[in-house]
Amino acid sequence: MPRRLSRRRLLSLALAGGAAAALAACGDDLSVWSEAERALPSRVFKDRTPFIDHGQAGLESRIELMRGALTPNDQFFVRNNSRSVVLDPEHWSLQIEGDAVPRPMRLSFADILRLPQRTLTAYLECAGNQRVMFDLLQGRRAAGTQWGRGAVGNAEWIGVSLADVLSAAGVSDDAASVLLVGLDRESPEGGFRRVMPIEQAIHPDTLLAHRMNGEPLPIDHGFPLRAVAPGWVGASQIKWLGRIVVSRDPQWTRNNTTSYVLVGDGYSARGPADGPIVTLQSIKSALALPWPASLSVGRHRLRGYAHSPRGAIAIVEWSVDGGATWRPARLVGEQIDYGWAQFEFDWQGEVGEHAIMTRATDHAGNRQPELTPFNEKGYLFNQPLPHPIIIG
């Protein structure tokens, strides 16, 4: 069985080195980057100050800074596989092609704006969000950027339905898979790409978005056009979208054969893939506090966020005794479309070291598990987090 940290051990780690030590040095391990990659200039355009900086891999939001239902664009996390790409919408176009497209076509940005526009709210989360917790809570370090709790955000998106774009291209009835390709040509395969089955591609809520929280899509988030597939992992929601390939047969790329697959004990290869392909995210909750948190003695109203890819959050509970007993938290505000839920509860803090856990349950009955099975790439961690709080 994987090693688990006791509450005292968890708190001692937090006290010894603060958040960076407790989260196993949240910065990215630059040893995995080539000399050429390390020499690249800044990969993002937004101010890094409000974030936990993972170097060339991206910026992690500090969820304790978030207020309200939507994550402001300047606080929204960034995960890149190359430098952010600057594109001129006047010269940009979207190519739709493949053996299931009898009439390959190219759409300009003006063409996109002429299609029926849709608005929806959806959270977006990196598949590796909370990856560092495999190390901290189970004693097994997974490969990849050691994201804490902030590779997630919630936004309002405006765009066009991917189904409308595919319909305009006359996609054939026997289409099976849709490959989305970004224009970030420094990324693996000459443009980050991800495949989704036709059923997901034609879902009316799978969008090609050009606005985020009422503003033009920021450069770091894929301007002029990106995919938004509610509930799916962030890697499926391609930024700087430039090409769509629709095929009658399943399509295979790096990102559904060797990357974004579950590898480890209990997982087996499936077809060309090294393991089960990561598509949907997992149900999660987290307190909107620094890790670790330092609070004063007295009554505190603690708040946080919870989200599920399979439906609205029905219940959030909290525990101060390691999960032996659970108490209900209050859901506050409105959970819109595929957005996250906000919760809060009152807690009387006394001098000492504490660990508060939260867990969420959605309306479909899915609940955060006691233990997330380990996988080598550290995807989909979602067991309840014992959040360290020091009062004194």
Contact 376, 142 (CB under 8 A): yes
The alpha-carbon radius of gyration of the chain (Å, integer) is 21
Residues of the chain with pLDDT below 70 are: 1-42
Distance of CA 66 to the CA centre of its chain: 16
Q: What is the mean pLDDT of the chain?
A: 91
User: Domains in the chain, start-ordered, CATH in brackets?
Assistant: 1-280 (3.90.420.10), 284-391 (2.60.40.650)
CB 14 within 8 A of CB 22: yes
CA 263 – CA 278 distance, rounded (Å): 11
pLDDT given at position 24? 32
Query: Scanning the structure block, which residue is given the tokens 């420094």?
Result: 186
pLDDT for 56 equals 84
Burial of residue 134 (CB within 10 Å: 0-12, 13-18, 19+) is: buried
Give whole-number Cα distances, 379 to 32, 136, 215, 261, 376, in Å: 18, 15, 31, 8, 8
Residue 5 tokens read as 């940290």
Query: pLDDT tens digits, residue range 262-308?
Result: 999 999 998 999 999 999 999 999 999 999 999 999 999 999 999 99
pLDDT at 6: 53
pLDDT of the residue at 10: 52
